[in-house]
Amino acid sequence: MQRSWQLFKADASLAQALAQELNLFPLTAQVLINRGIKDTAHAAMFLKPSLNHLRDPLEIPDAAQAVKRVLEAREKQEKVLVFGDYDVDGVTGTAILIHALASLGIKADHYIPHRYEEGYSLSLDSVRRIAERGTDLIITVDCGVSSLKEIALARSLGIDVIVTDHHNIPDCLPPAHSMVNPKRLAKEHPSCDLSGAGVAFKFAWALLRLSGSRDKQFLASLLDLAALGTISDVVPLTAENRVLAVNGLKLINSRPRPGLKRLIEVSALKGGVNVNHVYFALAPRINAAGRLEHASTSLELLLTDDESKAGQLARELNDINLRRRDIGGDIKDEVLQRLETCADQQRLCFLSGCDWHPGVIGIVASQIVDRFCRPAVLVGINDGVGRGSARSVEGLDIFALLNECRDLFIDFGGHAGAAGFEIEPGKVAELEQRLNRLAGSRIPEEALKPKLRLDAVLDPAAITLNLIKELEMLAPHGEGNPQPVFMSQELELGGMRCVGKDGRHLKLKLNNGGADLDTIGFGLGYLEPTLKFATKYDVAYMLEANEWDGFETAQLKLADIRPAEQSSTLPKEVTV
């Protein structure tokens, strides 16, 4: 599907001023401006994210009273339980709080629900089971903000509940002892977009401070878990999330805990662990247990100090993930076959199937969005229950869309980009009809056109290793901070070949009359028959350093390419 190129509107005078103040290339300064960073102080913090930039954890509403309740539980030797979600964010946040409580002398129990037998967050049955354990205090992680009936039941059974969560605040809050959720802060507050693990880290910090602990080294040792949860949950990698991600990745690469060390080994990762390694190697393996079996295996991995046990658990997670990939591949093939002839004719892709594993349909839905630039809703029907996963495109709040069909669901939750639900099989057809009607009026045509945002037009002569090294300061990239994409015009092909397994990748030599630019297009080998040596091309790309045989050279990572005559003028300009 051809993408629409959109060029960020340049602000040459502001870029020059920022560049001079911070001793940057003007191009780097322009990228910062494109990310909404327009003053020197903000830019300096972004380029060198320090733990000193984290705001006081007690600024989060109810944090102080929640800490007071935990310290009271320690004083009375009450039984404390940490209740976490089953995804990476929830599991890492649960591990953070268990480690933090242990440092205060509280040996906390833990409970992670089974994704399919119990569903998301607290349930009435899980509360009753927890009560039977003699629990006095529940601390939730990455869930609980909407658990009205469940927390009311806990309270009636004599159990206090502290909610630590980051999901949107509902109209009616549950009767929790404390509601530690940064969404209760002003929208512009740096803590507002924290992940569940980020909230757990800030709460752990508050616990240590108000307990009188001065062990800053222990708090810093939790940054790896906070970074994993933050990156995996696809929250904006800006403000405090950027601080946690950068410093947590440093810890993972310098002193990985036994579980992560072994997981990195079974993932066959080479060199330093980066954001892409988390997205595509570590997070899928940690998530796999909760998707196919039970997330307690992943939690054990993050809690153990035993190298041998860590190795065993890492291998187990790797095996589960291989099974998950096989199952997901089969479902994806079926879905693509059904969509191939009709996806472009509808504004929302809705499919259901019997025996589709609910642990993988969310991944497949994301792949459908990427391929067709359509929001996707997939429903797997198993054992008399339909479980659905929805993923959205930029500019469409899929949670709000599904919320208009809330009366059809047994259970429902999520956010703007992704949502999940349970539904009776007999109501799936009505859901499809209602969503298709809503899609016709609520999803603008513009949202269904894939876009490529270009940070600047770049003269190939300006590409140097020094520039590339400076641009690396903008990493890690992700939601809210995408990797910069540049455009160069009227380049000629100096060489072309397909490389990799089955010729999947495209290797090009590009030039504009000067030196050749080495270019790699991962997964773009299919373009080779369409490219001609006699044609000039406009090229969109990322910049990276390529090391080979001890030498580093500049390399273009191809994002898109099109004949220059199709774009004699610059792409449409957009502003932040």
Per-block mean pLDDT, blocks of 10 residues, the chain (576 long): 87 96 96 95 94 96 98 98 96 98 97 87 95 98 95 98 93 95 95 97 97 87 98 92 97 97 96 93 95 95 97 97 92 90 80 91 92 92 92 89 94 84 95 93 84 94 95 93 95 92 92 86 92 92 87 92 74 67
DSSP 237: S
Tell me if 232 sits within 8 A of 218, measured CB to CB: no
Residue 133: CB atoms within 10 A of its CB come to: 10
Global pTM exceeds 0.85:
yes
Q: In what order do the strands lie in the sheet with 137-141?
A: 109-111, 80-84, 137-141, 160-164, 178-180
Structure tokens of 99? 């480690």
With CA atoms as reference, report the closest residue to 16 among 38, 36, 35: 38
- For 4-9+451-574, give the CATH class: mainly beta
The DSSP element (H or E) to which 544 belongs, if any, is strand 536-548
Compute the half-sphere exposure of residue 204: CA atoms within 13 Å on the CB side of its CA. Answer: 32
53-227 CATH pick, 3.90.1640.30, 3.40.50.720, 3.40.50.300, 3.90.45.10: 3.90.1640.30
The sign one gets for the Cα dihedral 278, 281, 284, 285 is: negative
Tell me how far apart the alpha carbons of residues 441 and 149 are, in angstroms, rounded to a whole number.
35
Report the Cα–Cα distance between both ends of the chain, in Å, rounded.
25
Tell me if 296 sits within 8 A of 289, measured CB to CB: yes
Query: Strand 536-548 and strand 551-563: pairing?
Result: antiparallel
10 Å CB burial of residue 561 (0-12, 13-18, 19+) is buried
Structure tokens of 277? 């390694």
The full length of the chain comes to 576
Q: Which pLDDT belongs to residue 498?
A: 94
Tell me if 484 sits within 8 A of 29, measured CB to CB: no
CA angle 170, 201, 137 (to 5 degrees): 65
Q: Which pLDDT belongs to residue 445?
A: 81
With CA atoms as reference, report the closest residue to 555 among 564, 563, 547: 547
Tell me how far apart the alpha carbons of residues 344 and 422 are, in angstroms, rounded to a whole number.
27
Q: Where in the chain is the domain with CATH 2.40.50.460?
A: 4-9+451-574
Q: Which residue has the tokens 């642990």?
A: 359
Tell me how far apart the alpha carbons of residues 455 and 328 are, in angstroms, rounded to a whole number.
35
Question: Looking at domain 340-448, does it have CATH number 3.40.50.1390?
Answer: no
Q: Where in the chain is the domain with CATH 3.10.310.30?
A: 340-448
Tell me how far apart the alpha carbons of residues 93 and 82 are, in angstroms, rounded to a whole number.
10
Q: Where in the chain is the domain with CATH 3.90.1640.30?
A: 53-227
With CA atoms as reference, report the closest residue to 423 among 390, 391, 397: 390
